[in-house]
Amino acid sequence: MDKKTLRHIIQQKIKKLSETERKNKEKVLYEKLFENKNFKNANCIALTIPFGTEINTYPIIEKLFSCNKVVCAPVCEKETKKMTFYRIKSLDDLIDGYYGIKTPPEIKENIIEKDNIDLILVPGVGFDSKNFRIGFGGGYYDRYLKDYNGHTISLAFKEQIIEKVPKNEFDLPVELVITD
C-alpha cells in the first residue's frame, strides 16, 4: 500500500474517535511524555502547532512555558521545502500561516538554530515498530532531521501504529514513539 492511501486510512480512523476518547488518549500521551527523561532534560523543545487530525500540542506548550523551557515551532517554505524553527513565548504570538496552520511570526531574532534544539516532537500520520513514520507528504521533517543530533519523539494514538511503513532512502526513524 502506498503512503497516500495509508495516510487516508489512518486519518479516517482518527476522525472516528469521539472527542472524549481523543482527549483521554491525549491525556495518556501527555503523562508519558512528561515523564520521559529526554523531555525533562531538554531546555529547548521544538514542536508543531496542531492542525487537522494531529495530536493537540497546546497542553504540551503550556507545560513547557510553565517550566521556563524554550519553545519553538516551524515555519515551512513551500518553494524550497525548507523548515525553520522560531521561538514562541506565548500562544498569542502565533499567526495564520501556510495551509491555515498556526505558525510563529518570521522574526529573525527568534530563529532557533538546529544545534540549539534539544528535542523535537516529530509529527506524523502513521508509525511502525521500527519507529519509521509516514508524515504529511511534504518531506520537511526528513530533510530537517538528516543532520540533527538531538533527540526525537513522536506521539501517536494506537490507531496510528501500522505493521510497516513504506519508506525510501530519505526516510528516517524517530528515536521514540509514545503511544496511548
Tens of pLDDT, residue by residue over 126-142, are 999 999 999 988 889 98
DSSP strand pairing (119-121 vs 151-156)? parallel
What residues of the chain score a pLDDT lower than 50?
Answer: none
Tell me, what's the pLDDT at 101?
A: 82
Q: What is the pLDDT of residues 97-110, one digit of tens each?
A: 767 789 999 999 99
User: Which residues are 133's β-sheet partners?
Assistant: 127
Tell me 160's DSSP state: G
Give the model's pLDDT for residue 115.
Answer: 97
Among the four given CATH numbers 3.20.20.120, 3.30.70.60, 3.40.50.10420, 3.40.50.300, the one describing domain 3-179: 3.40.50.10420
The continuous run of DSSP H or E covering 95 comes out as strand 95-96
Helix count and strand count (H, E) for the chain? 5, 11
SS3 content of the chain, % helix, strand, coil (to 5): 35, 25, 40
Q: Output the pLDDT for position 170.
A: 77
